[in-house]
Structure 1
Amino acid sequence: MTIKGNFEWAKEEYEKWGVDVEEALEKLKNVPISIHCWQGDDVGGFEVNKQELSGGIDVTGNYPGKASTPDELRSDLEMALSLIPGQHRINLHAIYGETKGEVVERDKLKPENFENWVNWAKDNRLGLDFNPTLFSHPKADDGLTLSHPDPSIRDFWIRHCIASRKIGEYFGKELGTPSVTNIWVPDGYKDIPSDRLTPRKRLKESLDEIFSDEVDEQYNVDAVESKLFGIGSEAYVVGSHEFYMGYALKNDKLCLLDTGHYHPTEVVSNKISAMLLYSDQVALHVSRPVRWDSDHVVALDDELKEIGMEIVRNDALDQVRIGLDFFDASINRVAAWTIGTRNMIKALLYGLLLPNDHLKELQEAGNFTDRLALMEEFKTYPFGAIWDYYCEEMNVPVKETWLNDVRQYEEEVLSKRS
């Protein structure tokens, strides 16, 4: 049977339960995923005075073909985007600016250092998001930045974050779509602290100063991101979930939930509905933790599907800003982007193809037998036939055929890099 024929058959199966498949696909087309640039070069960046990776971040593997210039990274992103259905965004870190061979300290970065990214985004009809880079720097060597006891170090990072928000504002103005500028800091202690409160007071004061510098919220949306622990901060992280959730709610900022930044028994899918009761929007960084915040390439596992279902069943496609955050240097980096992003989109489609209203009614009526039975049966409904049709309609490769394009790109481009 043809892709179209399989689609028509699958469509009938879903429509028996009142699922409007065509409407689901139209909704899916309008959901942008913010794809992280740092998968393409192992979180290296392009600073002239490049530093060793630090801040509890580790990338393993040495697969050939890593991007070493901005043009190479943009080329690799274009390749990945050609294999991913939909119109998306690119998420940049401050270390990906271009300074024409000059050493420019992070607190001196300006919009002009990202002009090439903006022109490229315009050409490819992409939005841009942004992150100040508060790691891999001599002033972050002891694992403290915005909460540092030395005011001169805090001031440096405050200036960097202020500069970053202005860059995000520039993105929004130029591209006509607001940029999410997300602040994450590695601050914490390896062993049990004797004072948890004072560093958190300093972090709060630093954030207050950063956000007191006004930018136009029409173009820049501020977000703050928590973490449970990291390498070198196993016992205590200053910016915990409770800290940032409180700060975001009190100061009308986006609270960004990273799927790897919680205890292994916690899941972000269970937090989304609670956050949306008190916030107009939330942001996500989706990765795949394996026993810890290891940022594996996103797989279509139960938690990813649950995240997709939570966003859809709560009618929150316009309220949840979905970004990705993983890095794997042990496999082809373009393939990693493609696998992870396609899986995120699949999870949303899976949620869109469920009879969510009916399932809610069953729960409200206390009919837990039918609820469980249907939720399980829909796991083997012909979701794949709908996905294949969507890919074909969006002019991207169907099923695993995209691997042929990646292999060809590796042979013609990646293998020739030194």
Structure 2
Amino acid sequence: MNKKELVQKSYEIAKERYAALGVDVETSLNKLQDLSVSIHCWQADDVTGFENLGNIGGGGIQATGNYPGKARNIDELRTDIEKVLTLVAGKKHRLNLHEIYGDFGNKIVDRDQVDASHFTSWMQWGQEKGIKLDFNSTSFGHPKSGDLTLANPDKSIRDFWIEHTKRCRAIAEEMGKFQNDPCIMNLWVHDGSKDLTVNRYLYRSLLEKSLDEIFDIKYKNMKDCIESKLFGIALESYTVGSHDFYLGYGAKKQKMVTLDMGHFHLSESVADKISSLLLFTPEIMLHVSRPVRWDSDHVVLLNDETTELAKEIVRADALNKVHIGLDFFDASINRIGAYVVGIRATQKAFLQALLEPTVKLREYEANGQYFERLALLEETKGLPWNAVWDYFCFKNNIAVGEDYITEVQQYEKEVTSKR
């Protein structure tokens, strides 16, 4: 029996097993097929970007490692993303760009001067490849970044970053209009203090005023989201844009809140936050990542945190209200391989969630049958979801199982090793 026959046979067995629990596998696969993952561009080049300003790093961002073959320009980055998409299932994935990835040519364009023309080629590329774009303002790695940007008491610095962010929103609006689908524009600033501060209220009041000015213009083709963080590198003692701050602002102003899995205490459950946010904010943006001891943005794996996150979204029937983005960057391993592992792990988590016998579990819970609920939750861990996953890959005409490893190795031999 060849691999194709084995995959098909295993799938049919799994399909019957799930059907016995009231789960329609084909319905689950259709939902997974439509699941859109916003793939972050910055894994391909270690968060360097294509500015000509002499990116100085800092601002809570640090990619570690020196594995050879990173993308050095826009063409190489696009080629890498196109390769990644041949190794993951699904046809509705998006690309998430930071502002520093504009097509600036040989011109020096400061961040308060950027406009949609610097992303025209990206929009055209996305249209040609059938990839929708998302966007981010970029507050780090700039001579005016410092410890404070939108919360800076120096009005000239604050106004610089307000203008930058306004322009990023205008770019996102043009992207959304061009692709006839809203572009999600994420706002994250690293603002904070390395040691103790006595001006917590001042900085947060300044950030609120800056956000009010930034969001003053209403757009139809873009959606705003605001991202919190627990702490930043060299800004460990105080973060202006904490989760409490953005949760309050998001609920008050009806803005989408971004939950980054690495931006909380390691003992916190990001999954538990889903149901609360859905009650008070219009939508949620996710940055799926993997913290190791701190917000280290490791490659996403199929672990408890990722699967519980996916299950909470599916249980809340919120796939149409939660946007799934990735945010990790590992410069110590093959970057294309990192992408594929992380994207596949995210999809696997949602497949497990979609295959959960939720109706039966809710019935047990409603009847007070807590032993039965606990037992079934435990038994679902051993159900043959991986046979369904292999069939999903086969159906999408991509590498099944570990076969993608050789494809990544071949791409490294033919492309990235020659950079």
Q: Mapping of 1:162-181 within 5 angstroms?
A: 162-181=166-185
Report the residue type matching 1:331 in the other structure. Answer: I
Report the residue type matching 1:361 in the other structure. Answer: E
Q: Decide which of 17, 22, 28 is 2:32's aligned counterpart.
A: 28
Paired with 2:275 and 2:58, the residues of 1 have a C-alpha distance of: 34
Deviations, residues 70-114 of structure 1 (Å, cap 9, x unaligned): 000000000111101012000000000011200001111111101
Instruction: Report the counterpart of residue 328 of structure 1 in structure 2.
Output: 330
Paired with 2:74 and 2:363, the residues of 1 have a C-alpha distance of: 51
Q: Decide which of 104, 112, 124 is 1:119's aligned counterpart.
A: 124
Q: Which moved more, 1:9-18 or 1:357-366?
A: 357-366
Deviation at 1:215, TM superposition (A): 2.4
Paired with 2:253 and 2:52, the residues of 1 have a C-alpha distance of: 36
Instruction: Report the counterpart of residue 382 of structure 1 in structure 2.
Output: 384
Q: Over aligned residues, Cα RMSD in angstroms?
A: 0.9
TM-score by length of 1: 0.98
Percent identity of equivalent pairs: 51
Paired with 1:408 and 1:268, the residues of 2 have a C-alpha distance of: 37
Paired with 1:34 and 1:336, the residues of 2 have a C-alpha distance of: 15
Report the residue type matching 1:274 in the other structure. Answer: S
Pair 1:131 & 2:136 matched: yes
Instruction: Report the counterpart of residue 301 of structure 1 in structure 2.
Output: 303
Contact (CA 8 Å) 2:150, 2:191: kept in 1 or not?
Answer: yes
Pair 1:108 & 2:110 matched: no
SS in 1 for 2:21: coil
Report the residue type matching 2:362 in the other structure. Answer: K
Deviation at 1:12, TM superposition (A): 0.3
Instruction: Report the counterpart of residue 96 of structure 1 in structure 2.
Output: 101
Q: Mapping of 1:240-319 within 5 angstroms?
A: 240-319=242-321
Deviation at 1:214, TM superposition (A): 3.0
Deviation at 1:52, TM superposition (A): 2.2
Pair 1:222 & 2:227 matched: no
Gaps of 5+ in 2: none
Paired with 1:25 and 1:192, the residues of 2 have a C-alpha distance of: 51
SS in 2 for 1:193: coil
Deviations, residues 275-321 of structure 1 (Å, cap 9, x unaligned): 11122311110100011100000000001000111111111111100
Report the residue type matching 2:267 in the other structure. Answer: T
Instruction: Report the counterpart of residue 356 of structure 1 in structure 2.
Output: 358
SS in 2 for 1:140: coil
Report the residue type matching 1:33 in the other structure. Answer: V
Paired with 1:304 and 1:215, the residues of 2 have a C-alpha distance of: 33
Paired with 1:316 and 1:395, the residues of 2 have a C-alpha distance of: 28
Deviation at 1:364, TM superposition (A): 2.3
SS in 2 for 1:128: strand
Paired with 2:215 and 2:364, the residues of 1 have a C-alpha distance of: 45
Instruction: Report the counterpart of residue 414 of structure 1 in structure 2.
Output: 416
Runs of 4+, deviation exceeding 2 Å: 213-216
Instruction: Report the counterpart of residue 19 of structure 2 in structure 1.
Output: 15
Paired with 2:138 and 2:269, the residues of 1 have a C-alpha distance of: 26
Q: Decide which of 79, 82, 89 is 2:83's aligned counterpart.
A: 79
Paired with 2:152 and 2:121, the residues of 1 have a C-alpha distance of: 34
Deviation at 1:116, TM superposition (A): 1.3
Q: Which moved more, 1:100-109 or 1:363-372?
A: 363-372
Q: Decide which of 199, 205, 228 is 1:201's aligned counterpart.
A: 205
Deviation at 1:274, TM superposition (A): 1.0
Contact (CA 8 Å) 2:228, 2:242: kept in 1 or not?
Answer: yes
TM-score by length of 2: 0.98
Deviation at 1:366, TM superposition (A): 1.9
Paired with 2:294 and 2:132, the residues of 1 have a C-alpha distance of: 31
